[in-house]
């Protein structure tokens, strides 16, 4: 059978999508043992896990981008979940990092705006997961800053205010939330969750992956595998199984 004819006869294969939207902590999530990799491995042949992490970005810029990632004509049924993971850059200290800093009130409004946009394109609240910034280990991050000729440009107390705002937005908008800032600090030595005081270590990636999977497993593990198991394909007439 010619490929064009097969294409005309068969249904278009569309993988459902899980969108990971955030800053560098999301961008790096597809590295070895990353939290995004963990999800992709468990959802292979069930849905595509799309990494839309953009290093250095804040919620102000994210709000502008989101409609370009999920335009209004997107089929809401094709989106199984969206994570929104900003705040680590927003919470940078204004006097030392004015380019990335976003005031707390604006950060709150930006998160609400993104959630409201998703709802406006029929992505329901139960498909949206907000993630707070993780805690900041100041001494380790100060070393990273000094290595670049900069001063310490973040502090954990300020990051905590942004985390609390994220939790409040989730409560008001009826979405799920993972409060990394609080959860990781239940361990007295939370620095082990971080590679440089800000970004996630292997342990931190594993921790976030487990938190996310506990929320997604019931929803997504039941998704059917796309295309039949190879032993179930009729090798004498594969079109009958595959189209």
81-123 pLDDT, tens per residue? 999 999 999 999 999 999 999 999 999 999 999 999 999 999 9
Q: Is residue 24 part of a domain?
A: yes
Q: Is residue 231 part of a domain?
A: no
Q: Where are the beta strands (DSSP E) in the chain?
A: 17-22, 48-53, 79-85, 128-131, 176-178
Catalytic residue among 78, 196, 201, 241: 196
pLDDT tens track for 19-38 = 999 999 999 999 999 999 99
What is the separation, in whole angstroms, between the first and last Cα of the chain?
Answer: 12
CATH number, domain of 115, equals 3.40.50.1110
179 is known as an active-site residue: no
Q: What angle do CA 104, 109, 115 make, to 5 degrees?
A: 130
191 is known as an active-site residue: no
Q: How confident is residue 2, by pLDDT bands cut at 50, 70 and 90?
A: low
pLDDT tens track for 176-225 = 999 999 999 997 789 999 999 999 999 999 999 999 999 999 888 788 88
- As a three-state string, the secondary structure of 88-115 is CCCCCCCCCCCCCCCCHHHHHHHHHHHH
167: Cβ contacts below 8 Å, ≥ 6 apart: 130, 132, 177, 179
In the predicted model, is pLDDT for residue 57 greater than 60? yes
Q: Is residue 106 part of a domain?
A: yes
Q: Would you state the pLDDT for residue 41?
A: 94
How many CA within 13 A on the CB side of residue 5? 3
Q: Would you state the pLDDT for residue 8?
A: 47
Q: Is residue 166 part of a domain?
A: yes
In the predicted model, is pLDDT for residue 137 greater than 60? yes
Q: Would you state the pLDDT for residue 9?
A: 55
Q: Is residue 90 part of a domain?
A: yes
pLDDT tens track for 217-238 = 988 878 888 888 889 898 888 9
In the predicted model, is pLDDT for residue 241 greater than 80? yes
pLDDT tens track for 138-187 = 999 999 999 999 999 999 999 999 999 999 999 999 999 999 999 999 97
Rounded to whole angstroms, the Cα distance separating 174 from 164 reads 15
189 is known as an active-site residue: no
Q: Which two tokens stand for residue 9?
A: 């006869």
Q: Is residue 235 part of a domain?
A: no
Q: Is residue 5 part of a domain?
A: no
Residue 168, domain extent: 17-225
In the predicted model, is pLDDT for residue 10 greater than 80? no
User: What is the pTM (predicted TM-score) of this model?
Assistant: 0.92
Q: Is residue 234 part of a domain?
A: no
Q: Would you state the pLDDT for residue 208?
A: 98
Rounded to whole angstroms, the Cα distance separating 24 from 78 reads 25
Span 60-77, average pLDDT: 90
The total number of structural domains that make up the chain? 1
């Amino acid at each position: 059978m010619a490929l064009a004819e097969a294409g005309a006869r068969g249904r278009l294969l569309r993988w459902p999508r899980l969108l990971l939207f955030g800053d560098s902590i999301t961008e790096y999530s597809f590295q070895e043992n990353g939290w995004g990799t963990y999800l992709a491995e468990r959802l292979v042949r069930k849905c595509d896990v799309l990494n839309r992490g953009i290093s250095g970005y804040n919620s102000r810029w994210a709000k502008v981008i989101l409609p370009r990632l999920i335009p209004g004509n997107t089929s809401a049924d094709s989106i199984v979940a969206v994570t929104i993971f900003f705040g680590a850059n927003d919470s940078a200290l204004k006097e030392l990092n004015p380019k990335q800093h976003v005031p707390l009130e604006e950060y709150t409004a930006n998160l609400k705006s993104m959630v409201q946009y998703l709802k406006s394109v029929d992505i329901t609240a139960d498909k949206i997961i907000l993630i707070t910034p993780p805690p900041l280990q100041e001494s380790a991050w100060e070393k990273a800053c000094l290595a670049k000729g900069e001063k310490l440009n973040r502090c954990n107390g300020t990051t905590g205010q942004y985390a609390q705002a994220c939790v409040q937005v989730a409560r008001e908008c009826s979405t799920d939330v993972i409060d990394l800032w609080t959860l990781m600090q239940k361990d007295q030595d939370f620095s082990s969750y971080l590679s440089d005081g800000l970004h996630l270590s292997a342990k931190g990636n594993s921790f976030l992956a487990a938190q996310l999977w506990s929320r997604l497993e019931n929803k997504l593990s039941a998704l059917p595998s796309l295309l039949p198991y190879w032993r179930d394909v009729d090798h004498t007439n594969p079109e009958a199984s595959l189209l």
